[in-house]
Homo-oligomer: A and B are copies of this chain.
Amino acid sequence: MDKARIAIIGASGYTGAELVRLVTTHPGMRIAALAADRNAGKPLAEIYPHLSHLDLPTVVKTEEIDFAGIDLAFCGLPHATAQAVIGGLPRDLKVVDLSADFRLRDPKIYETWYGHEHHALDLQAEAVYGLPEFYREEIRATRLCAGTGCFVVNGLLPLVPLVEKGVIDLDEIVIDSKTGITGAGRSSAEWKLFSEVTAGTKAYGLGGTHRHTSEFDQELTKAAGREVTVMFTPHLLPMNRGILGTIYVKGDADEIQATLATRYADEPFVQVLPMGSAPLTQHVTGSNLCRIGVTPDRRKGRAVIVSVIDNLVKGASGQAVQCANLMLGQPETAGLELAPMFP
């Protein structure tokens, strides 16, 4: 079978590079085009020295790509830019977008959280939320898939089944998330310097102001059939990859464990650990896995859930490939069977 021809738009960021890493050894895909407007024309060895040994297409501007020869495009641009660029692509081109532009169903909510009107409402209307564990059939059928926020997939995988089944108190969900810094991307800023980040930690987006909060609201409210408002606080840790979500809930730990174990028994990328276990982020690095552990609190009726992913894989580029596999009719796990790299 011919390999699907893949374009990566916004190739020079970290999610773009991660897509190149994953697609390079994917049995059913090959990279046919790379676009990075700011870096167009530069040799790949300059943009990504770590990939300089690969025989890759020259990095061009998006408009220089002949999309007639492309089966699917990944788009790794920032929000707002993404909607403008994707709006200009052929309407029959399959697209997996990694930005926030097509995640929120309600344009008013998008406007509130992202500070500007949405300029591609028709695209937004057709987009499917790119969480295969909950939207598998919709993703198979769509031509535009919106990759989820990295914190959100980490939190939704444990929470959605519990909310759907009504086994936890919907008004008392606290999500305390810890992330590596690659999620913040490759643009320069003082706060991202090694000297500022190493050897310490901080909370940010406090009080429910981080934009991923809107995705939690949307998906948990949908799952519950009533409004769900979580407390969510992200933290920055001195590490590159990994998100660990510590989720405090009210509910019976055994019921929580059983609900999750049943729900994910057949999911290839979600692993529910035995009761009382807690997964480590360094143990999923480089893989598309989400590991979840449940522990009862000493007070009956309360539990702590720990969920881990690699933010650049299951939290971004890996999940994007998972969605692309579905959209292209390929095996869902193709190219994603890499074992975690530890240490």
Is A195 a contact of B207 with CB atoms below 8 Å? Answer: no
Is A280 a contact of B201 with CB atoms below 8 Å? Answer: yes
A51 to B181, CA, bound (A): 24
Q: Residue A226 at the B interface, CB < 8 A?
A: no
How many whole Å from A38's CB to the nearest CB in chain B? 12
| Given the contacts A192-B193, A204-B278, A208-B298, A20 and B339 also touching, CB distance less than 8 Å | yes
Of the candidates B174, B193, B231, the one whose C-beta lies within 8 Å of that of A194 is B193
| Given the contacts A174-B174, A178-B235, A296-B207, A189 and B190 also touching, CB distance less than 8 Å | no
| Given the contacts A54-B339, A188-B190, A276-B206, A201 and B231 also touching, CB distance less than 8 Å | no
| Given the contacts A201-B237, A206-B278, A246-B176, A49 and B193 also touching, CB distance less than 8 Å | no
| Given the contacts A203-B246, A239-B199, A50 and B342 also touching, CB distance less than 8 Å | yes
A198 to B192, CA, bound (A): 12
How many whole Å from A170's CB to the nearest CB in chain B? 13
A296 to B231, CA, bound (A): 11
Is A238 a contact of B235 with CB atoms below 8 Å? Answer: no
- Chain B residues, CB < 8 A from A276: 206-207
With both beta carbons as reference points, the residue of chain B lying nearest to A239 in the complex is identified as B199
- Chain B residues, CB < 8 A from A282: 50, 196, 198-201
Q: Residue A1 at the B interface, CB < 8 A?
A: no
- Chain B residues, CB < 8 A from A235: 178, 244, 246
Is A280 a contact of B237 with CB atoms below 8 Å? Answer: no
A residues 109-149 near B (Cβ < 8 Å) are: none
- Chain B residues, CB < 8 A from A341: 21, 285-286, 341
Most chain B CB within 10 A, of A174, A182, A284, is at A174
Q: Residue A252 at the B interface, CB < 8 A?
A: no
| Given the contacts A182-B195, A235-B178, A201 and B306 also touching, CB distance less than 8 Å | no
Of the candidates B178, B180, B284, the one whose C-beta lies within 8 Å of that of A178 is B178
| Given the contacts A53-B271, A304-B233, A239 and B192 also touching, CB distance less than 8 Å | no
Q: Residue A221 at the B interface, CB < 8 A?
A: no
Q: Residue A263 at the B interface, CB < 8 A?
A: no
Number of copies of this kind of chain in the complex = 4
With both beta carbons as reference points, the residue of chain B lying nearest to A253 in the complex is identified as B207
Q: Residue A157 at the B interface, CB < 8 A?
A: no
A residues 154-209 near B (Cβ < 8 Å) are: 172, 174, 176, 178, 180-182, 186-190, 192-204, 206-209
A298 to B230, CA, bound (A): 10
Is A194 a contact of B198 with CB atoms below 8 Å? Answer: yes
- Contacts beyond the supplied A194-B194, A196-B343, A241-B343: 18 A-B pairs with Cβ under 8 Å: A17-B342, A51-B340, A52-B273, A181-B193, A186-B190, A194-B197, A194-B238, A198-B199, A198-B282, A203-B304, A206-B276, A207-B295, A207-B296, A207-B298, A207-B304, A237-B237, A238-B239, A240-B343
| 9 A-B residue pairings within 8 Å (CB atoms) | A24-B339, A49-B283, A50-B282, A181-B195, A196-B282, A201-B242, A201-B280, A208-B298, A286-B286
A residues in contact (CB < 8 Å) with B: 14, 17, 20-21, 24-25, 48-54, 172, 174, 176, 178, 180-182, 186-190, 192-204, 206-209, 213, 229, 231, 233, 235, 237-242, 244, 246, 248, 271, 273, 276, 278-286, 289, 291, 295-299, 302-304, 306, 337-343
